[in-house]
Structure 1
Amino acid sequence: MERLTYRGTVYPWHCDHMGHMNVMWYTGKFDEATWQLFGSLGLTPAWLRAAGRGMAAVEQLTEYKRELQAGDLVSVHTQLIEVKSKVLRFRHAMRRDDDGELAAVSTLTAVFLDTALRKASAFPADMEARFRALLAASPPEAALKAAA
Protein backbone atom coordinates (compact mmCIF):
# COMPACT_ATOMS: atom_id res chain seq x y z
CA MET A 1 0.00 0.00 0.00
CA GLU A 2 1.24 3.44 -0.87
CA ARG A 3 1.38 5.76 2.15
CA LEU A 4 1.58 9.52 2.45
CA THR A 5 4.89 9.97 4.27
CA TYR A 6 5.77 13.64 3.78
CA ARG A 7 4.20 17.00 3.00
CA GLY A 8 6.14 20.21 2.70
CA THR A 9 7.11 23.32 0.82
CA VAL A 10 10.07 24.28 -1.33
CA TYR A 11 11.56 27.40 0.24
CA PRO A 12 13.82 29.90 -1.56
CA TRP A 13 16.86 28.70 0.42
CA HIS A 14 16.29 25.19 -1.01
CA CYS A 15 17.06 26.52 -4.49
CA ASP A 16 20.43 26.65 -6.19
CA HIS A 17 21.96 28.98 -8.79
CA MET A 18 19.73 27.38 -11.46
CA GLY A 19 16.61 28.47 -9.58
CA HIS A 20 15.36 24.99 -8.73
CA MET A 21 15.46 22.86 -5.58
CA ASN A 22 18.96 21.51 -5.05
CA VAL A 23 19.50 17.74 -4.82
CA MET A 24 20.43 17.91 -1.13
CA TRP A 25 16.87 19.00 -0.30
CA TYR A 26 15.29 16.16 -2.26
CA THR A 27 17.41 13.80 -0.19
CA GLY A 28 16.40 15.53 3.05
CA LYS A 29 12.69 15.36 2.24
CA PHE A 30 13.02 11.69 1.25
CA ASP A 31 14.84 11.02 4.54
CA GLU A 32 11.96 12.56 6.51
CA ALA A 33 9.55 10.39 4.50
CA THR A 34 11.65 7.33 5.34
CA TRP A 35 11.30 7.90 9.08
CA GLN A 36 7.55 8.40 8.71
CA LEU A 37 7.39 5.07 6.84
CA PHE A 38 9.42 3.32 9.51
CA GLY A 39 7.20 4.74 12.25
CA SER A 40 4.06 3.57 10.46
CA LEU A 41 5.57 0.07 10.33
CA GLY A 42 6.29 0.04 14.06
CA LEU A 43 9.98 0.89 13.70
CA THR A 44 9.67 4.04 15.78
CA PRO A 45 12.77 5.67 17.26
CA ALA A 46 11.57 4.72 20.77
CA TRP A 47 11.04 1.07 19.80
CA LEU A 48 14.42 0.91 18.02
CA ARG A 49 16.25 2.39 21.04
CA ALA A 50 14.48 0.07 23.50
CA ALA A 51 15.24 -2.98 21.33
CA GLY A 52 18.88 -2.01 20.69
CA ARG A 53 18.17 -1.90 16.98
CA GLY A 54 18.52 0.61 14.18
CA MET A 55 17.96 1.08 10.48
CA ALA A 56 20.69 1.98 8.00
CA ALA A 57 20.38 2.92 4.36
CA VAL A 58 22.81 0.90 2.26
CA GLU A 59 21.66 2.03 -1.17
CA GLN A 60 19.70 4.97 -2.57
CA LEU A 61 18.93 5.67 -6.21
CA THR A 62 17.20 8.96 -6.97
CA GLU A 63 15.74 9.84 -10.34
CA TYR A 64 14.97 13.52 -10.95
CA LYS A 65 11.97 13.90 -13.25
CA ARG A 66 10.87 17.55 -13.00
CA GLU A 67 12.24 20.72 -11.45
CA LEU A 68 10.72 22.10 -8.29
CA GLN A 69 10.84 25.81 -7.53
CA ALA A 70 10.40 28.03 -4.50
CA GLY A 71 6.79 28.01 -3.37
CA ASP A 72 5.94 24.55 -4.72
CA LEU A 73 4.01 22.35 -2.31
CA VAL A 74 5.15 18.73 -2.41
CA SER A 75 4.05 15.36 -1.10
CA VAL A 76 5.88 12.07 -0.90
CA HIS A 77 4.05 8.75 -1.13
CA THR A 78 5.96 5.59 -0.25
CA GLN A 79 5.49 1.91 -0.96
CA LEU A 80 7.33 -1.21 0.17
CA ILE A 81 8.72 -3.06 -2.83
CA GLU A 82 10.72 -5.87 -1.18
CA VAL A 83 10.96 -7.52 2.22
CA LYS A 84 13.76 -9.85 3.31
CA SER A 85 14.62 -11.14 6.76
CA LYS A 86 17.04 -8.23 7.39
CA VAL A 87 16.15 -5.81 4.59
CA LEU A 88 13.40 -3.46 3.45
CA ARG A 89 13.34 -1.92 0.00
CA PHE A 90 10.92 0.89 -0.69
CA ARG A 91 10.19 3.58 -3.22
CA HIS A 92 9.36 7.21 -2.57
CA ALA A 93 7.50 9.24 -5.21
CA MET A 94 7.64 13.04 -4.76
CA ARG A 95 4.90 14.98 -6.52
CA ARG A 96 4.04 18.63 -6.86
CA ASP A 97 0.69 19.03 -5.13
CA ASP A 98 -0.97 21.54 -7.45
CA ASP A 99 -0.82 19.38 -10.57
CA GLY A 100 0.34 15.95 -9.36
CA GLU A 101 3.45 16.08 -11.55
CA LEU A 102 6.10 13.56 -10.55
CA ALA A 103 9.23 15.46 -9.50
CA ALA A 104 11.48 12.65 -8.29
CA VAL A 105 11.56 8.99 -7.35
CA SER A 106 13.95 7.54 -4.80
CA THR A 107 14.42 3.82 -4.22
CA LEU A 108 16.12 2.83 -0.99
CA THR A 109 17.45 -0.34 0.54
CA ALA A 110 17.60 -0.30 4.34
CA VAL A 111 19.08 -2.89 6.67
CA PHE A 112 17.84 -3.70 10.19
CA LEU A 113 20.80 -3.54 12.59
CA ASP A 114 21.82 -4.74 16.02
CA THR A 115 23.28 -1.46 17.30
CA ALA A 116 25.58 -3.12 19.86
CA LEU A 117 27.13 -5.53 17.35
CA ARG A 118 26.90 -3.04 14.44
CA LYS A 119 25.73 -5.90 12.22
CA ALA A 120 22.63 -6.73 10.23
CA SER A 121 19.99 -8.51 12.25
CA ALA A 122 16.77 -10.34 11.37
CA PHE A 123 13.49 -8.56 12.01
CA PRO A 124 11.36 -10.14 14.74
CA ALA A 125 9.25 -12.87 13.09
CA ASP A 126 5.91 -11.15 13.78
CA MET A 127 7.20 -7.86 12.35
CA GLU A 128 8.58 -9.49 9.22
CA ALA A 129 5.25 -11.30 8.71
CA ARG A 130 3.41 -7.97 8.96
CA PHE A 131 5.75 -6.38 6.41
CA ARG A 132 5.25 -9.32 4.03
CA ALA A 133 1.47 -9.05 4.42
CA LEU A 134 1.61 -5.34 3.54
CA LEU A 135 3.73 -6.11 0.50
CA ALA A 136 1.36 -8.87 -0.63
CA ALA A 137 -1.64 -6.55 -0.23
CA SER A 138 -0.14 -3.99 -2.60
CA PRO A 139 2.31 -5.45 -5.12
CA PRO A 140 5.23 -3.23 -6.15
CA GLU A 141 4.09 -3.21 -9.78
CA ALA A 142 1.52 -0.58 -8.79
CA ALA A 143 4.28 1.64 -7.37
CA LEU A 144 6.34 1.20 -10.52
CA LYS A 145 3.44 2.31 -12.73
CA ALA A 146 2.62 5.27 -10.48
CA ALA A 147 6.23 6.43 -10.56
CA ALA A 148 6.49 6.29 -14.35
Structure 2
Amino acid sequence: MASTMTEPAPLMSSFYAVEAGWIDYNQHMNMGYYTVLFDRAADEAYAEIGFGPEYRDASGCTTYTAEFHVRYLRELKLGDRVQAAFRILDYDEKRFHSYQELIREDGTVVATGEGIALHVDQSGPKVAPMPEAILARLRQVAEQHGKLPRPETAGRGMGLRRRR
Protein backbone atom coordinates (compact mmCIF):
# COMPACT_ATOMS: atom_id res chain seq x y z
CA MET A 1 0.00 0.00 0.00
CA ALA A 2 1.25 3.47 -0.76
CA SER A 3 0.38 5.30 2.47
CA THR A 4 1.91 4.72 5.87
CA MET A 5 0.35 4.12 9.24
CA THR A 6 1.51 7.54 10.46
CA GLU A 7 -0.53 9.50 7.89
CA PRO A 8 -4.19 10.38 8.53
CA ALA A 9 -4.99 9.21 5.01
CA PRO A 10 -6.62 6.10 3.62
CA LEU A 11 -4.38 3.17 2.77
CA MET A 12 -3.86 3.30 -1.00
CA SER A 13 -3.55 0.11 -3.04
CA SER A 14 -1.45 -0.62 -6.07
CA PHE A 15 -2.93 0.26 -9.46
CA TYR A 16 -4.90 -2.46 -11.25
CA ALA A 17 -5.82 -2.50 -14.94
CA VAL A 18 -9.22 -3.63 -16.21
CA GLU A 19 -8.67 -6.97 -17.96
CA ALA A 20 -10.19 -8.12 -21.26
CA GLY A 21 -12.04 -11.03 -19.64
CA TRP A 22 -13.85 -8.60 -17.34
CA ILE A 23 -15.60 -6.75 -20.19
CA ASP A 24 -19.23 -7.71 -20.80
CA TYR A 25 -21.46 -7.40 -23.85
CA ASN A 26 -22.15 -3.74 -22.98
CA GLN A 27 -18.43 -3.09 -23.55
CA HIS A 28 -17.73 -2.05 -19.99
CA MET A 29 -16.50 -3.92 -16.92
CA ASN A 30 -19.02 -6.42 -15.58
CA MET A 31 -20.32 -5.58 -12.11
CA GLY A 32 -18.77 -8.65 -10.46
CA TYR A 33 -15.25 -7.48 -11.20
CA TYR A 34 -15.65 -4.33 -9.14
CA THR A 35 -15.80 -6.67 -6.15
CA VAL A 36 -12.70 -8.49 -7.44
CA LEU A 37 -10.83 -5.17 -7.49
CA PHE A 38 -12.07 -4.24 -4.01
CA ASP A 39 -10.99 -7.67 -2.75
CA ARG A 40 -7.50 -7.43 -4.24
CA ALA A 41 -7.03 -3.97 -2.74
CA ALA A 42 -8.37 -5.14 0.64
CA ASP A 43 -5.81 -7.96 0.64
CA GLU A 44 -3.10 -5.29 0.43
CA ALA A 45 -4.66 -3.27 3.26
CA TYR A 46 -5.20 -6.36 5.41
CA ALA A 47 -1.52 -7.26 5.04
CA GLU A 48 -0.60 -3.73 6.22
CA ILE A 49 -2.77 -4.22 9.29
CA GLY A 50 -1.34 -7.68 9.96
CA PHE A 51 -3.98 -10.03 8.55
CA GLY A 52 -1.87 -11.34 5.66
CA PRO A 53 -1.15 -14.97 4.72
CA GLU A 54 1.71 -15.13 7.24
CA TYR A 55 -0.71 -14.32 10.06
CA ARG A 56 -3.14 -17.01 8.86
CA ASP A 57 -0.37 -19.60 8.61
CA ALA A 58 1.06 -18.79 12.05
CA SER A 59 -2.20 -18.36 13.96
CA GLY A 60 -4.81 -20.45 12.17
CA CYS A 61 -6.95 -17.30 12.12
CA THR A 62 -8.01 -15.13 9.21
CA THR A 63 -10.78 -12.77 8.14
CA TYR A 64 -14.06 -13.62 6.48
CA THR A 65 -16.34 -11.09 4.83
CA ALA A 66 -19.77 -11.02 6.49
CA GLU A 67 -21.32 -8.30 4.33
CA PHE A 68 -20.24 -6.14 1.40
CA HIS A 69 -22.10 -3.37 -0.43
CA VAL A 70 -20.99 -1.86 -3.74
CA ARG A 71 -22.11 1.43 -5.26
CA TYR A 72 -21.40 1.68 -9.00
CA LEU A 73 -20.80 5.34 -9.86
CA ARG A 74 -19.00 5.29 -13.24
CA GLU A 75 -18.29 2.60 -15.78
CA LEU A 76 -14.84 1.20 -16.39
CA LYS A 77 -13.52 0.22 -19.83
CA LEU A 78 -10.79 -2.12 -21.00
CA GLY A 79 -7.37 -0.89 -19.91
CA ASP A 80 -8.62 1.66 -17.37
CA ARG A 81 -6.35 1.73 -14.33
CA VAL A 82 -7.70 2.10 -10.81
CA GLN A 83 -6.49 1.99 -7.25
CA ALA A 84 -8.46 1.73 -4.05
CA ALA A 85 -8.50 3.95 -0.99
CA PHE A 86 -9.17 1.77 2.08
CA ARG A 87 -10.38 3.06 5.45
CA ILE A 88 -11.35 1.54 8.77
CA LEU A 89 -14.54 3.17 10.04
CA ASP A 90 -15.08 1.11 13.20
CA TYR A 91 -13.97 -2.07 14.93
CA ASP A 92 -14.36 -4.21 18.02
CA GLU A 93 -12.48 -7.25 19.29
CA LYS A 94 -13.96 -9.60 16.64
CA ARG A 95 -14.86 -7.50 13.59
CA PHE A 96 -14.23 -4.34 11.66
CA HIS A 97 -16.12 -2.03 9.32
CA SER A 98 -14.25 -0.79 6.25
CA TYR A 99 -14.96 1.63 3.42
CA GLN A 100 -13.22 1.70 0.05
CA GLU A 101 -13.28 3.90 -3.03
CA LEU A 102 -12.12 2.70 -6.44
CA ILE A 103 -10.38 5.65 -8.06
CA ARG A 104 -9.54 5.84 -11.75
CA GLU A 105 -6.09 7.23 -12.66
CA ASP A 106 -7.69 10.58 -13.55
CA GLY A 107 -8.95 10.91 -9.94
CA THR A 108 -12.58 9.97 -10.62
CA VAL A 109 -14.20 7.81 -7.95
CA VAL A 110 -15.88 5.05 -9.96
CA ALA A 111 -17.27 2.88 -7.14
CA THR A 112 -17.47 2.55 -3.39
CA GLY A 113 -17.40 -0.63 -1.34
CA GLU A 114 -18.34 -0.99 2.29
CA GLY A 115 -17.89 -4.13 4.32
CA ILE A 116 -17.95 -5.91 7.62
CA ALA A 117 -15.15 -8.42 8.18
CA LEU A 118 -14.99 -11.04 10.91
CA HIS A 119 -11.88 -12.37 12.65
CA VAL A 120 -12.23 -16.15 12.35
CA ASP A 121 -10.47 -19.05 14.03
CA GLN A 122 -10.41 -21.55 11.18
CA SER A 123 -10.32 -24.58 13.50
CA GLY A 124 -14.09 -24.10 14.05
CA PRO A 125 -14.49 -22.12 11.97
CA LYS A 126 -15.81 -19.62 14.51
CA VAL A 127 -15.65 -15.89 15.06
CA ALA A 128 -12.96 -15.20 17.66
CA PRO A 129 -11.31 -12.23 19.39
CA MET A 130 -8.23 -10.78 17.71
CA PRO A 131 -4.91 -11.05 19.54
CA GLU A 132 -3.79 -7.84 21.24
CA ALA A 133 -1.01 -7.14 18.71
CA ILE A 134 -3.46 -7.19 15.79
CA LEU A 135 -6.05 -5.24 17.74
CA ALA A 136 -3.42 -2.59 18.58
CA ARG A 137 -2.52 -2.23 14.90
CA LEU A 138 -6.19 -2.01 13.92
CA ARG A 139 -6.70 0.61 16.64
CA GLN A 140 -3.77 2.64 15.27
CA VAL A 141 -5.15 2.56 11.73
CA ALA A 142 -8.69 3.36 12.88
CA GLU A 143 -7.45 6.34 14.92
CA GLN A 144 -5.62 7.75 11.89
CA HIS A 145 -8.57 7.15 9.57
CA GLY A 146 -10.91 8.66 12.17
CA LYS A 147 -9.22 12.03 11.59
CA LEU A 148 -10.76 12.09 8.11
CA PRO A 149 -14.36 13.17 7.54
CA ARG A 150 -16.72 10.19 7.56
CA PRO A 151 -17.80 9.31 4.01
CA GLU A 152 -21.31 10.66 3.41
CA THR A 153 -22.53 7.38 1.95
CA ALA A 154 -21.12 5.10 4.68
CA GLY A 155 -23.85 3.05 6.30
CA ARG A 156 -26.37 4.11 3.71
CA GLY A 157 -29.41 1.88 3.30
CA MET A 158 -30.76 0.67 0.01
CA GLY A 159 -34.27 1.04 -1.33
CA LEU A 160 -36.43 2.80 -3.89
CA ARG A 161 -37.00 6.48 -3.29
CA ARG A 162 -40.57 7.54 -3.91
CA ARG A 163 -41.57 11.02 -4.99
CA ARG A 164 -44.50 12.27 -3.00
Q: Same fold (TM over 0.5)?
A: yes
Tell me by how many angstroms 1:32 deviates: 0.7
Post-superposition CA distance 1:95-147 (Å, at most 9, x none): 110x2111000001110011102110001123212212221222175351599
Question: 1:102 maps to what in 2?
Answer: 109
Higher helix share goes to which structure?
1
Question: 1:13 maps to what in 2?
Answer: 21
- CA-atom RMSD in angstroms: 1.9
Q: 1:121 aligns with which of 112, 118, 128?
A: 128
Identity among equivalent pairs (%): 24
SS state at 1:18 partner = coil
Q: 1:76 aligns with which of 54, 77, 84?
A: 84
Aligned equivalents of 1:83 and 1:119: distance in 2? 18
Whether contact under 8 Å (2:29, 2:77) holds in the other structure is yes
Question: 2:149 maps to what in 1?
Answer: 142
Aligned equivalents of 1:13 and 1:142: distance in 2? 36
Post-superposition CA distance 1:66-89 (Å, at most 9, x none): 011112111111111111110011
TM-score normalised over the length of structure 2: 0.82
Higher strand share goes to which structure?
1
Would you say how many aligned residue pairs link Structure 1 and Structure 2?
146
Aligned equivalents of 2:37 and 2:63: distance in 1? 17
SS state at 1:69 partner = coil
Aligned equivalents of 1:142 and 1:84: distance in 2? 20
Do structure 1's residue 23 and structure 2's residue 26 form an aligned pair? no
Residue identity matched to 2:151: L
